[in-house]
Structure 1
Amino acid sequence: MVAQLARRHCLNPACISEPVRAADTKQVLDKLQASRVLIQEKRDVSAYVELVVRLTAVCSSFSLCRSHRGNITLPKIPESNMALSVLGVFLGLLLEVSTHGPSSVPRSSWKQDDVNLLEFWEPDVFNYTTLLLSEDRGVLYVGAREVIYQLNMNNVSIKSNQLMWKVPENDMSMCILKGKSKETDCRNYIRVLQVLDEDNLYVCGTHAFQPLCDYLSLENFSLHNRPEDGRGKCSFDPGQSFTTVMVDGELYSGTAYNFLGSEPIISRSSPSQSLLRTEYSTSWLNEPSFVFADVIREGQNSPDGDDDKIYYFFTEVSVEYEFFGKLLIPRIARVCKGDLGGQRTLQKKWTSFLKAKLVCSMPELNFVFNVVHDVFILKAPHWRDTVIYGVFTSQWGNVGLSAVCAYNMSSVHEVFSKGKYMQKATVEQSHTKWVRFNGITPSPRPGACITNLNRMQNINSSLQLPDKTLQFVRDHPLLEDPVLPIGNGPRLITKDVNYTQIAVERVLALDGNLYDVIFTATDKGFLHKSLVLEGEVHTVEEIQLLKNSEPIKTLLLSTRAAQFLYAGSDSGVVQCPTAFCEKYLSCVDCVLARDPYCAWDARSTSCINIFRGDAQQRKLIQSLKGDAGMCPPVAALALEDYQQVAVKPGGSADLSCQVRSNLAQVLWKLNGHALTEASRFLLMGENGLLIYSVTAEDTGRYECWSVESGAGQNFTRLVAGYVLRLDLPENTPPLSARRPQSVSRDPTPASEGNDGLTSGLTSTHTDSPSLTTPPNNAIKPKSHIPPEVSNLPTRTETLDPSAKYIQHDNSIALLSLFLLFFLLFLTALAYNCYMQYLPAPCLRLRAALLGSNKKPQAEYVACESGLMEPVQEKTDSANQNGAHPLHALRDTGYETEPEYVNGRVPSNSFEDGDDSPSKDRPFDIDCVSQPIEYADADTPH
């Protein structure tokens, strides 16, 4: 759809802006046409989005758009319409995407003060972004700027050790001479914290743009003072993306190898071997942004004698297509752990390096999320059951959409072991720079690890691979087949949220099923907890982890009994539990949360974490379908337990109702009858009910009910109850009881017996006539984030004592004031119409009512006659029939106005015979004695 509209509007070389039109217009047209063909034939999503964005960028000079001979003929569209058309196409696509996908609203929202969080930070220390969790030691290691901390894993606010690692003055001076900032760049940012063995850590820092590594002894928490060159292991720039993983004492890194950051490499550093790295070529790595790396133990118990593999995840500039801008593509790359490089070809280079496209898109809309921000590998006992989770966004910013895609490791292995290769295109002037390789692939398969089959061919290491295979790997590192997500689409899509980090845990619920709980961190300091239930995404809660609105840059998950999450940011470290079961105070609330960590304990009447203590031995209630009907009945709230509210006549009453769930709908009742927003003097807010100008008819029993859907039913809970009465003076006789027919504010009568007092605190209703619910039992979620529900103590309160002067006849006073202003408006309108101050419709009405038989004033008649000049008679039928000759006004340069317009100059007297100017008429002129020759001052004489 977008491609067709865009092609119809702007696929023409004459539509290119000035900088682009300097190039060959024929080549530009070929590229755009090739993009269209690629979209139609191969449905390439990346090229699709690139074409749409390029059309909005290149079509800047719309006045230059015109048809081109031999090419597509463009319709003649005005400039503004053309710009709006192209922009509207792209915005329409984003709007359509934002209405699709498995997105959900967090059911519960907790602020930082609502939950129990532990923090660690110290003054003048920043960038707490390198985290290493050692659950065997019960320690969390934190790398910050010029310091390494050792914190308690169960309480990060407790610091066990710290190590200062600053930059010497001479190194800092050299960094400053190179143009870097002393306060930010020329410091030592700890970027690498990896476990080397039981007693040592391998640490690296940027060290004033001169990366340096050393060994940290855990016994006395000090450096060994054996510095090593950090190039290829750690980034130069503290703000540059990079990744590392330690595998069997060898450090695998993805970073930049030079000061400028223009030479990206994937390398392996080993004490016993020389540095093994990628080839410096754009076909291998083209401006990558590394996000994650980890090892998959495929060699364990492998019948083929396969090797372990290290997978890298990054986003790079596309090498397949050549466009005017940079098209980003997410990648997954793989190297073999036992790779030793080549003997003659690819010496000290990877012989097993291959990469493939990582697809996260919505196929039904052809919308692609082409930037990967973080990856989490959920490992299983067998590597084929491992699942890869990634967080993606679109490179064209401010879209406001984030996606989570999941990939099977078996699918990844299939692409790398059997996928087709790509090669550079030889066709000139084609936007596609890489195409499928259709030739004969050398044997052994290029990029494959050494297996038992290779060993039978006397190939025991990569040093013995034939040069033909190694040459092919060097020229064909890219695979054509992409890695597709599970379900061919995202697991989760969020609107107006940018995810930065992800962690996933597989949880065994009480129903015996496994559920993947997805924890995602945002760029605003929030944490979302979601899971997929029967194809539907359910976001359990969102938690504000950081006080300030800043990105969460690191997210670690503890899988031990402690069950904690650790978030690192520029300002500090935050420890967060994986569940907040204690926040759910009722069984219905606990069950409707649909949290696999939480269940309701009927014995202790509390919501508990099933993975702590002796929870497994208790009789617990849990339903991830949201079936709150499993909960035991709760006694109804007695009338004497309702909160008493006393209001003076004419005052206002504010009845609060703070509902925890964002998915619930609030229903107010008065004496058992539902209230609507159309009720008199009533305002329903997000957190309460406001009744102003209270009268005797407003008194009674007010109840706030929460209505929430689950398991195909609607469940109601009484949240708050009030008894509203008038606060009358002692000498005033008591008011009579309110008539039953005047109680209900709802025009629809409620069913008998649907009283909140008899239904109990927690009750189940599927077709309750008193509940105003949407069709199909769907409850619309609230758009706000309610704070915590307060207790409901019994108390008497007088609201708004200053409003006692407001009486019952306020409405009459307001009506009288309105009528007064309306009469003043009509009077002003009639006066202005009579005085000819209003536009033509009013003047015509005045003329119709008062008549318009006045003649022009004498002085203007003389002027008008002086402006007439004879026109030559034409030989037409009118003149031949004896018609009077026409006279035309002489052009004076000014427009004349009709009689009844604003420009008319009134005159109070007429003296036709007086030819001399008068003192009373200083501006009158004699048009006969002073004929008007020229009206324009600039006309030459």
Structure 2
Amino acid sequence: MLVIHMGGWIFFNESPIASRRHDVQLEDCIILPEGRILSSSRASWKSCRGNLTLPKIPESNMALSVLGVFLGLLLEVSAHGPSSVPRTSWRHEEVSLAEFSEPGVFNYSTLLLSEERGALYVGAREAVFELDINDVSVKNNQVLWKVPARDMRLCTLKGKSEETDCQNYIRVLQVLDEEHLYVCGTHAFQPLCDYLSLKDFTLMGKQDDGRGKCSFDPAQSFTTVMVDGELYSGTAYNFLGSEPIISRFSRPQSLLRTEYSTSWLNEPSFVFADVIREGSNSPDGDDDKIYYFFTEVSVEYEFFGKLLIPRIARVCKGDLGGQRTLQKKWTSFLKAKLVCSMPELNFVFNVVHDVFIVKTPDWRETVIYGVFTSQWGNMGLSAVCAYNMTSVDEVFSKGKYMQKATVEQSHTKWVQYNGITPSPRPGACINNQNRMQNITNSLLLPDKTLQFVKDHPLMADPVLPIGHGPRLTAKDVNYTQIVVERVTALDNRVYDVLFTATDKGFLHKSVVFEGGSHIIEEIQLLKNPQPIKTLLLSTKKEGSFLYAGSDSGVVQSPTAFCGKYMTCTDCILARDPYCAWDTRATSCINIFQKQDNRQHRKFIQNLRGDADECPSALPRSIDRPRQVVVKPGSSAELACSVRSNLAQVFWKVNDSILTESGHFLLMGDSGLLIYSVAPQNQGRYDCWTVESAAGKNFTRLVASYSLQLELPEISPVSSVEIVKVPDPDPSSSRTISTTTAPRGNNGNGNTAGPSPLTPSTLSSVPPPPLTRPATTANVYGAKTETKLYVPPQSSDSRNQGPEIKDPHAKYLQYDNSNALLFLFLLFFLLFLFGLGYNCYMQYLPGPCLRLRAAVLGSQKKPQREYTACEAGLMEVLPEKQDRNEPPHQNGALRDTGYETEPESGNGKIPSNSYEEDNDSTSKQGPFDINCESQPIEFADADAS
């Protein structure tokens, strides 16, 4: 049995087999264990059988084979996946955003927009707010809906958290009529619904059971849509969340729902639902349809884990259920697989997160946009796929069905049904043809048709995307929400602009072209990284806005930031359908906002990004380099703010392209860092960017600097005065030289005193030696324009030079040589003291001990400790001549590992000859041994 087709491989219950996509679409072939092959209408049996070989691999190796191939696919996608990045990134503090949040209130995840009333309704935890549609920071009304203490206790007794689970999370906000909203909340895992009066903004107290309309768990996914006063929902029907249903609720009628069967719904995660008005002006009298989008666990494929499949399902608005079969159940429920994959990499996005439907007057031109990711979220890939409503309708109205088949008498598989389809067509809405057969509603459908629908809710054919691939792909991004606006640009072409929210609080704005898409900008909507749970779009004539809901609050953002593009080139390269360059006002404007005297203005817009249409730029202040003065040897950082993430940055130094070397470092923010600035690093530094668009390269000068060294100059020397300094030593005489400037006006109206001495970096005159004869005058040059280097003067108070008053040359006053010498002598003395102390305390080996003996004047040569004892131990004892003689040890000494104990008590050795000596021996310590007077005897020595 075929498991799944991924990455050019087919997985079935025995082994993976390779396929060639140009030979046959093998994902349409189903291989049974006995070798029999089934296929869909797009692939024949012969082509499937002719291109497949079935190697036999043990069942135990199946999981490893599948896992190995899948890991290889992950590596391929990671290395060669999409690299779409936004052209411009705006931080939260760089854009004008309106925000709303209330202290102690969380989970602002339910939003309802009412442009007629100019209000945005927000459902949060235990509260409903009415905000101004033009400025969400303005709160007009609010109502609180808390959980009673009794219901709270019941919730906690069921094992739920009082702080999080047992609150009332408002999950449903739908317009019932002009004066009322239908509101539902989780209400401590006991869903309740009520009616909110818009006149006084209060709850009316007419509570309904919320089962089947609202989820029990606030963290569980669900979806609702109100159609002509009837609430359509996709949620869980029980406390455990194990019974998912798609239902319809209306006051006169009872609840209509799906069958409780894994064939109908298998652990679904609902994301979106909406109505398509197919019945209006329909030539065949068809009915309106409600479409649901969700991700569920696959029933038609086998996999080593739970394989998720994105689905689209539909029901008919006029469905009333069956008379005998499928009573109070949908008779029109059908579902199909949504395909979103990267054909070049054979990678499948199998989880749908959100859907937006771009509706048109003709339902056949309606386009469905969906946000997809991979089930294996560590890939970091997201995609946006688009689907035509005509292809969706073709799958449901003309496609084949799937059915269960028993394999090997125990296993149930899903295969394509190729038998005769009953009439009327199962799952179809009531149309004029049915009415001609006196079938005016679903209650009159024959049981054969209803039983077929009950057993065959899954369609065999998938819904393929437009272009057989994603309209937008992004790497290292997880999209959570999407809204789409269809706009007409100045070239009279219609473009779909996508707004996709991420799980980190960012918003991506993209435009779809015929050949692909372009991410215009990225906006940080939320200060702290957190998922955006709801995204709404308002398209008013005064200006369109985006509203994003999260756990922490609501954020309002304009749909375009045209005014932040300061040049015509930036405005055109952004390729934003909302923006155009106004040549009269020399600014980038939003063409959909009201403009005064627009007919007399000239706008430039090119969505290909061809900026050659921009007028020649006038001389700018950037052409005058910014002066940067640094000290010699220090570092200089030159900033280059580049807004475009698609632009490449390069630097020029004195009209030569700079390459990174040991002195230069190109930083991540396009800046330049220069290490240890030297005279040869002076000059002009220009930051340039080059960006490609419309097959051309556009180069721009972004920043310009003039780097100079800080070179303090010595004032012109006018005279040299030799001053004799008296010396306490009469045998010597020292003279020092001082330079004085001519007295007069110094530019400040003051009489100039002695000129301060400052260093110079001119190398034309070599610096004098640091040591020179005491009687030599320190005089340099007669030319007044010569810059001189003055070495630091000696710290000797008898040879002190003139006081230095220039703050840039203060370091010349200090000479650290004496301090360094003092520290060296101090550490040397400490070292000698430590060495002597360790020698005296006998902590160091023999050479130091000999030094100690020499210093103390000892004539005795140092010996090792216990030398006498060792000599006594090495003596060979004579043999015993007589029994009366005291016993002595024989031969070599034996070391038994025991310490020698005094021969008294239980430690002595019995001996007749030594009884009289026991008293004297016991008085000695255990180690008091006189090695020179007697040999050593051991306690465990042999006694004879």
TM above 0.5, yes or no, is yes
For the aligned residues, what is the CA RMSD?
A: 3.4
Asked if residue 111 in structure 1 is aligned to residue 91 in structure 2, the reply is yes
| 8 Å Cα contact 2:8-2:19 kept in structure 1 | no
Where does residue 717 of structure 1 map in the other structure? Answer: 700
Following the alignment from structure 1 to structure 2, what is the Cα–Cα distance between the partners of residues 438 and 312? 27
| 8 Å Cα contact 2:6-2:346 kept in structure 1 | no
Q: Deviations over 1:96-126 (max 9, x none)?
A: 2245566411111111001011110011111
The DSSP-based 3-state class of the residue aligned with 2:377 is coil
Deviation at 1:362, TM superposition (A): 2.0
Asked if residue 681 in structure 1 is aligned to residue 663 in structure 2, the reply is yes
Where does residue 424 of structure 2 map in the other structure? Answer: 444
Change (3 A) 1:517 1:7: closer
Where does residue 580 of structure 1 map in the other structure? Answer: 561
Change (3 A) 1:383 1:72: same
Q: Deviations over 1:722-762 (max 9, x none)?
A: 11122111218998999xxxxxxxxxxxxxxxxxxxxxxxx
Deviation at 1:667, TM superposition (A): 1.8
Change (3 A) 1:267 1:736: same
| 8 Å Cα contact 1:192-1:203 kept in structure 2 | yes
Where does residue 309 of structure 2 map in the other structure? Answer: 329
Following the alignment from structure 1 to structure 2, what is the Cα–Cα distance between the partners of residues 642 and 139? 51
Mean alpha-carbon deviation: is it higher for 101-110 or for 184-193? 101-110
The DSSP-based 3-state class of the residue aligned with 2:393 is helix
Q: Mark the runs of 5 or more structure 2 residues left unpaired by the alignment.
A: 32-53, 717-759, 765-806, 813-869, 875-890, 893-944
Where does residue 396 of structure 2 map in the other structure? Answer: 416
Q: Deviations over 1:667-692 (max 9, x none)?
A: 211222221113x6222223311222
Following the alignment from structure 1 to structure 2, what is the Cα–Cα distance between the partners of residues 317 and 804? 76
Partner amino acid for 1:348? K
The DSSP-based 3-state class of the residue aligned with 1:113 is helix
Where does residue 386 of structure 1 map in the other structure? Answer: 366
Following the alignment from structure 1 to structure 2, what is the Cα–Cα distance between the partners of residues 319 and 921? 92
| 8 Å Cα contact 2:652-2:686 kept in structure 1 | yes
Q: 1:534-549 counterparts in 2 under 5 A?
A: 534-549=514-529
Q: Specify which of 9, 13, 16 is matched with residue 31 of structure 1.
A: 13
Deviation at 1:4, TM superposition (A): 12
Change (3 A) 1:723 1:613: same
Asked if residue 636 in structure 1 is aligned to residue 616 in structure 2, the reply is no
Change (3 A) 1:100 1:505: farther
Partner amino acid for 2:296? E
Change (3 A) 1:576 1:726: same
Asked if residue 651 in structure 1 is aligned to residue 651 in structure 2, the reply is no
Q: Deviations over 1:12-35 (max 9, x none)?
A: xxxxxxxxxxxxxxxxxx823499
Q: 1:736-755 counterparts in 2 under 5 A?
A: none
Following the alignment from structure 1 to structure 2, what is the Cα–Cα distance between the partners of residues 542 and 417? 41
Asked if residue 599 in structure 1 is aligned to residue 580 in structure 2, the reply is yes
TM-score, normalization by structure 2: 0.70
The DSSP-based 3-state class of the residue aligned with 2:406 is coil
| 8 Å Cα contact 1:35-1:431 kept in structure 2 | no
Partner amino acid for 1:716? T
Deviation at 1:361, TM superposition (A): 1.2
Asked if residue 610 in structure 1 is aligned to residue 591 in structure 2, the reply is yes
Where does residue 106 of structure 2 map in the other structure? Answer: 126
Deviation at 1:567, TM superposition (A): 0.6
| 8 Å Cα contact 1:6-1:86 kept in structure 2 | no
Q: Deviations over 1:500-530 (max 9, x none)?
A: 1111111111111111111111111111111
Q: Larger Cα Rg: Structure 1 or Structure 2?
A: 2
Following the alignment from structure 2 to structure 1, what is the Cα–Cα distance between the partners of residues 259 and 4? 37
Q: 1:100-179 counterparts in 2 under 5 A?
A: 100=80, 103-179=83-159
Where does residue 563 of structure 1 map in the other structure? Answer: 544
Q: Specify which of 294, 314, 317 is matched with residue 314 of structure 1.
A: 294
| 8 Å Cα contact 1:5-1:89 kept in structure 2 | no
Following the alignment from structure 2 to structure 1, what is the Cα–Cα distance between the partners of residues 511 and 75? 25
Following the alignment from structure 1 to structure 2, what is the Cα–Cα distance between the partners of residues 477 and 35? 30
Following the alignment from structure 1 to structure 2, what is the Cα–Cα distance between the partners of residues 218 and 267? 27
Identical amino acids, percent of aligned pairs: 72
| 8 Å Cα contact 1:322-1:431 kept in structure 2 | no
Partner amino acid for 1:280? Y
The DSSP-based 3-state class of the residue aligned with 2:93 is coil
| 8 Å Cα contact 1:31-1:431 kept in structure 2 | no
Following the alignment from structure 2 to structure 1, what is the Cα–Cα distance between the partners of residues 474 and 671? 29
Where does residue 243 of structure 1 map in the other structure? Answer: 223
Mean alpha-carbon deviation: is it higher for 610-619 or for 128-137? 610-619
| 8 Å Cα contact 1:212-1:229 kept in structure 2 | yes
Q: Specify which of 401, 407, 410 is matched with residue 427 of structure 1.
A: 407
Where does residue 689 of structure 2 map in the other structure? Answer: 706
Where does residue 711 of structure 2 map in the other structure? Answer: 728
Where does residue 912 of structure 1 map in the other structure? Answer: none
Q: Deviations over 1:442-478 (max 9, x none)?
A: 1000000000111111111111111111111111111
TM-score, normalization by structure 1: 0.71
Where does residue 257 of structure 1 map in the other structure? Answer: 237
Where does residue 247 of structure 2 map in the other structure? Answer: 267
| 8 Å Cα contact 2:270-2:295 kept in structure 1 | yes
Q: 1:861-872 counterparts in 2 under 5 A?
A: none
Following the alignment from structure 2 to structure 1, what is the Cα–Cα distance between the partners of residues 209 and 66? 52
Following the alignment from structure 2 to structure 1, what is the Cα–Cα distance between the partners of residues 414 and 83? 36
The DSSP-based 3-state class of the residue aligned with 1:389 is strand
| 8 Å Cα contact 1:525-1:546 kept in structure 2 | yes
Following the alignment from structure 1 to structure 2, what is the Cα–Cα distance between the partners of residues 144 and 495? 32
| 8 Å Cα contact 2:343-2:468 kept in structure 1 | yes
Where does residue 825 of structure 2 map in the other structure? Answer: none
Q: 1:61-100 counterparts in 2 under 5 A?
A: 72=56, 89-100=69-80
Q: Deviations over 1:151-174 (max 9, x none)?
A: 001100000000000111111111
Partner amino acid for 2:242? S
The DSSP-based 3-state class of the residue aligned with 1:697 is helix
Following the alignment from structure 1 to structure 2, what is the Cα–Cα distance between the partners of residues 420 and 298? 22
Change (3 A) 1:702 1:38: closer
The DSSP-based 3-state class of the residue aligned with 2:474 is strand
Q: Specify which of 483, 505, 512 is matched with residue 463 of structure 2.
A: 483
Asked if residue 370 in structure 1 is aligned to residue 324 in structure 2, the reply is no
Where does residue 194 of structure 1 map in the other structure? Answer: 174
Partner amino acid for 2:506? F
Deviation at 1:482, TM superposition (A): 0.5
Following the alignment from structure 1 to structure 2, what is the Cα–Cα distance between the partners of residues 681 and 257? 69
Where does residue 911 of structure 1 map in the other structure? Answer: none
Following the alignment from structure 1 to structure 2, what is the Cα–Cα distance between the partners of residues 450 and 379? 23
* Count of residue pairs brought into register by the alignment: 705
Following the alignment from structure 2 to structure 1, what is the Cα–Cα distance between the partners of residues 811 and 703? 27
Mean alpha-carbon deviation: is it higher for 641-650 or for 198-207? 641-650
| 8 Å Cα contact 1:31-1:430 kept in structure 2 | no
Partner amino acid for 2:603? L
Following the alignment from structure 1 to structure 2, what is the Cα–Cα distance between the partners of residues 689 and 803? 30
Change (3 A) 1:576 1:386: same
Change (3 A) 1:450 1:716: same
| 8 Å Cα contact 2:8-2:346 kept in structure 1 | no
Asked if residue 44 in structure 1 is aligned to residue 27 in structure 2, the reply is yes
Following the alignment from structure 2 to structure 1, what is the Cα–Cα distance between the partners of residues 667 and 68? 36
Following the alignment from structure 2 to structure 1, what is the Cα–Cα distance between the partners of residues 872 and 703? 82
The DSSP-based 3-state class of the residue aligned with 1:507 is strand
Where does residue 511 of structure 2 map in the other structure? Answer: 531
